[in-house]
Structure 1
Amino acid sequence: MGVEGLNKAQLKAIIAKAETFFDENGQLINRPELDGYTVMNLFFEPSTRTRTTFEVAEKRLGANVLNIDIERSSTKKGESLRDTLWNLQAMTADIFVVRHSASGAAHFMATEVTPDIAIINGGDGWHAHPTQGMLDMLTIHREAPRPFEELSIAIVGDIKHSRVARSDISALQTLGVTDIRVCAAYFIAERY
């Protein structure tokens, strides 16, 4: 449910696959790789960018997309996360994209659904945001003048609470970056 379980070859394969979604001019192209699949976006915490970019990507890939309105779901009446998943699973979803405030929520959900349903972690608590981490790796790959192993990377911001930073650091280390520097935003604000 995060990038920390992937090896270098797997991370590079994901980056290489992502590259195939760009044409020779660097423009995104639509490919019907999810044609016939139903994706349910389950965002248990507010999100604009992540939820919207998932929906756009899912539609570009040809999926049937359902955005579940958690604020108006039975979870507000006390239905457990497990029961919510079982009910939604019965509606023939193939993929759940999950964003949750609890660390480990995506892993829990993966243990509760049948093996034929994929769970994609769209961010869980302070734990991880593997999809954003992989997007960051794709951006570095496309923009950096050298291979990962030759890069020095700085991550600046609210690192303590950043699930993205955790995913980035894990992926960067796996990809061979040995010079990763982390700087909390308050340190910079105090000096400048």
Structure 2
Amino acid sequence: MTQLHVASEKHLLGTKGMSAQEITSILDRAAYWEQYPVKLSNHLQGRFVANMFFENSTRTRFSFEVAEKRLGAEVLNFAAAVSSVQKGESIYDTVKTLESMGIDAGVIRMKPNGLLPELAEKIKVPLINAGDGNNEHPTQALLDLYTMRKQFGELRGLNVSIIGDIKHSRVARSNLWALQAVGARVSFCAPAGMQAPELAAHAPYISMDEAVKADVVMMLRVQLERHEESMFKSPEEYREAYGLTVKREAAMAPHAIIMHPAPVNRDVEIDDVLVECGRSKIFEQMSHGVPIRMAVIERALS
């Protein structure tokens, strides 16, 4: 088996096409790492992992870095803002340069859609997608599934509503593919200008009143400035129509939970008092990012 073929099986480019078995094995391994008795292990001692962020992200990058360091890997952090990419070097050339220096795996975040699979075909080290355009964000979806499984014990049969800017959301897409793979039911809720029509064949669009009746109510960050012809004149108007208000939370089932990939616009997509209420799992989700990413990095390098 060639090195290229081995690497291709270790990439994590998205949740689309992943099997329930593959997803479950990552969640199980994350559970092992969450319970691991010491903060530092030497599992990946002597291995080099590069965090290649061509798009800014504080939380995702730090989460990956903590995961890598807990596994004992040597970490290289690369930010496009201070790199040769500003001087015109292509993303491919940058990744190829780091590969030629001897990295063992790369975590990559970028704005362009569709470039990652092309890169993965040419690069001989495993690549992990930390978010590409509005295409996918697989580790976010995996930590979301991990949070749901910890809460409910079982993912099959769960009803999950994803509410907000579906059009621009890689989180919505990765969650859709992963949740459907494990037998959960996904519904979307979004104003007309924030819907992704190409996803309607995979999950129905429902009203806000219906959406809050799900087992999991997942709110998405909304950036109204992305929508030039927005039907909402202000964040307050958006909150009134599509925000998770205290009144809407009261209509949720007693067992239901609130999720959000963060960062949260408080009092826009979710009322401030609900962000850390008893049924909110928002900060718990963030804590699960480290064990999930440990499992994913270990999968790439084992």
TM-score relative to the length of structure 1: 0.89
- 146-155 or 91-100, larger mean C-alpha shift: 146-155
- Identity over aligned residues, as a percent? 41
The verdict on how the C-alpha distance between 1:137 and 1:95 changes in structure 2, with shifts beyond 3 A counting, is same
Higher strand share: 1
Please list, as runs of the form range in 1=range in 2, the aligned pairs for 1:150-169 lying within 5 A after superposition: 150-169=157-176
Displacement of 1:190: 4.4
Match of residue 184 from structure 1: 190
- Quick one: distance in 1 between partners of 2:78 and 2:156? 41
- With over 3 angstroms needed to count, the CA separation of the structure-2 counterparts of 1:48 and 1:28, relative to structure 1, is farther
1:174 to 171, 178, 181: 181
Task: Identify if the C-alpha distance between structure 1 residues 105 and 34 changes in structure 2 by more than 3 Å, giving closer, same or farther.
Answer: farther
2:17–2:177 Cα contact (<8 Å) kept: no
Q: Distance in 2 between matches of 1:67 and 1:29?
A: 21
2:134 matched residue in structure 1: 126
Q: 1:39 aligns with which of 49, 60, 64?
A: 49
Q: Which moved more, 1:87-96 or 1:99-108?
A: 99-108
1:26-49 CA distance string (max 9 Å, x none): x88543322221000000011111
Q: How does 1:36-115 map to 2 (within 5 A)?
A: 36-114=46-124
Distance 1:23 1:88 in 2: 33
The corresponding residue for 2:28 is: 16
Given that 1:106 and 1:120 are in contact with CA atoms closer than 8 Å, whether structure 2 keeps it comes out as no
Provide the secondary structure at the position in 2 that maps to 1:59. helix
Cα displacement string for residues 80-108 of structure 1 (whole angstroms, at most 9, x for unaligned residues) = 22221221111100111000011123222
Could you tell me how far apart the structure 2 residues matched to 1:150 and 1:36 are? 43
Distance 1:169 1:29 in 2: 32
Matched-pair contact (CA < 8 Å) for 2:47–2:73: yes
Q: Is the 8 A contact 1:37 1:64 kept in 2?
A: yes
| Structure exhibiting the larger radius of gyration computed from Cα positions | 2
Runs of 4+ in 1 over 6 A off after TM superposition: 185-188
Contact 2:53–2:108 at 8 Å: present in 1 too? Answer: yes
- Say what the alpha-carbon RMSD is for the aligned residues: 2.0
Question: Contact (CA 8 Å) 1:124, 1:163: kept in 2 or not?
Answer: yes
CA offset at residue 149 of structure 1?
Answer: 1.5
Q: For residue 75 of structure 1, report the CA deviation from its aligned partner.
A: 1.3
> Which residue identity does 1:158 align to in structure 2?
D
SS in 1 for 2:34: coil
Quick one: which amino acid aligns to residue 181 of structure 1? S
CA distance in 2, matches of 1:28, 1:121: 27
Superposed CA offset, 1:34-70 (max 9, x none): 2221000000011111011111111011110000132
The DSSP-based 3-state class of the residue aligned with 2:134 is coil
Distance in 1 (CA, whole Å) between partners of 2:40 and 2:178 is: 27
How far 1:184 sits from its partner (Å)? 2.1
Q: Which amino acid in 2 is paired with 1:142? A: K
* Counterpart-to-counterpart distance in 2, 1:98 and 1:106: 9
**What residue identity is the alignment partner of 1:162?**
S
Q: Match of 1:10, as an amino acid?
A: E
Q: Write the letter of the residue equivalent to 2:23.
A: L
